Amino acid sequence: MEIDLAYLVPILTLLYAVYYYITKENKYFHDKPIPSMAVQPLFGSSGRLMTKKTSFHEWIIEIYNKYPRVKIFGMFDLTSPVFVVRDPELIKRIGVKDFDYFVNHRPVFGSSDNANSHSLFSKTLVALNDQKWRDMRATLSPAFTGSKMRQMFDLVGECCTNMVKFYQNEVRSKGGAQEHEMKDVFTRFANDVIATCAFGIKVDSLRNAENDFYVNGRKMMMFQRPIVLLKVFGFRLVPKLMAWLGLDLFDREQNDYFTEIIRDTVRTRDEHGIVRHDMVNLLMQARKGALKNQKEVKEESEVKGFATVEESDVGRMQVSKGMEMSEAEMVAQCLIFFLAGFDTVSTCLTFLAHELTVNRDVQDKLYEEIRETKESLGGGPLTYDAVQKMQYMDMVVSEALRMWAPAPSTDRLCVRDYVVDDGENLRFTIDKGTALFIPIAGLHHDPRYYPNPEKFDPERFSPENRDKINPSTYLPFGIGPRNCIGSRFALMEVKAIIYYMLMEFTFEKTPNTQIPLRVAKGFAGMRSEKGVFVELRPRSQ
């Protein structure tokens, strides 16, 4: 059978072009004085992760441990060369001191450039670049101070008491304690908190399990759907083509749903002069230039959690007039708060609940502090300042964030050529446009910084021990000016619900409680392999 050369030549040419495109950077690290991981076509150095042989959390720890004596090494994320920074001093230099060289995140899910301006995700704070990011960070920063958290705390507390009452009623109606999958429990709680605090609406995701807000949010977070995975690969391999096709990471249906909520809320408040201490109100103030970065007496004396990140000078910049914030940009900021609240906070709570369940001594000691705090409040409702003063609570949450960091890594993009020079024998250039990974999970599980790292030990963060921790090795909320703007809010939310839940229930093991807990394989974020099952047993029993 003869093969028509008229067809064969263009096919071979196309195949060669594709092969060249996916392998053209393979020798990138050959002239660098650092080791680099082996590379496979298309999968790069992440074949084990992409083929679901390991979890993202474990993969980050694996690659971190591959070259234990080096400060930085190379790898390939699919077809892109990436530097992995292991050395705390170099991480601090890149994340803080020389931040201007690494001001942006890499455009994983599309660019924030005008070419992709239709994308809602591209307008979020996490995706913005350069001056646009600086302006938005400075505009939003005053919304996340301790004083603003105090104003929003009542809304969080209301969600907490609502959740406790639901499970108390469930115990009465079903005649005893029940087993629960905690990711589902805390996702619904986090959903209600973000609905009331970021979108200005009240929903009850426990009593009305399939409410529109929860259903649309869950769809938005289903990153394992084949179509979403294809989009992720598309944005990573051919971002310009994805922008030209007008594709967004999120479905138009969910974009339109959340956009309509904000549009209606803002219109109603403008028309009727409604003021509510939530994120919508803060964004409306920011748009008018009414939010200012002012030093307050309360702010300076605030007791901060160990994991709370400090705002940089970028965030403290004064915005002299209202930012030209479009409706889409307002929606986008609420959206990123939703994504963080829906997944990151619920993930932290899920793994924390597991550790409290299997470490009963820690749970009992925390309960004693909770009981003492309630007595100090005269039996009244929990307050923001009371939460901040709970020392052992902060130690427990800090250790959960170390052991199970919701974001196992973070990244930076080199925006202009940067010379790495450790003053000893390492000197080379990181080229403009190249990405860097900061392996958070690897640092958090390095026995040099955290002896016996697989042990859940809140005492690492006691007042006597916390000074021994190198800040550049503890990064649950990132590092430098691009750290997580919502660390105060997240910690407040986590501590508040644990306070209310442990006040009324003990967390008990069940036959379905997985010990040791395993993280799901593949690029699935931080979720457990078989769920986190806990029995909520009323203390009255």
The answer to whether 484 is annotated as binding is yes
Terminus-to-terminus CA distance in the chain, angstroms?
81
**Ramachandran region of residue 429, left (φ > 0), alpha (ψ -120 to 50) or beta?**
beta
In this structure, the dihedral spanned by the alpha carbons of residues 92, 93, 94 and 96, taken in order and rounded to 10 degrees, is: 70
In 3D space, the residue among 90, 109, 105, 183 whose CA is nearest the CA of residue 137 turns out to be: 105
Rounded Cα distance between 48 and 63, Å, is: 11
Q: Residue-wise over 308-347: b if at least 16 C-beta within 10 A, else e?
A: bbebbebbeeebeeebebeebbbbbbbbbbbbbbbbbbbb
Handedness of CA 281, 284, 286, 291 (dihedral sign): negative
Structure tokens at 239: 């971002």
Separation in Å, CA 249 to CA 160, 216, 231, 485 = 32, 14, 6, 22
Separation in Å, CA 3 to CA 9, 13, 15, 204, 518 = 10, 15, 17, 65, 52
Structure tokens at 388: 């901040």
- Residue for token pair 């008229």: 6
- Residue for token pair 């593949």: 522
Instruction: Count CB atoms within 10 A of the CB of residue 34.
Output: 16
Q: Which residues pair with 333 in a beta bridge?
A: none
Structure tokens at 184: 């589902």
User: Which residues are documented as binding site for heme?
Assistant: 484
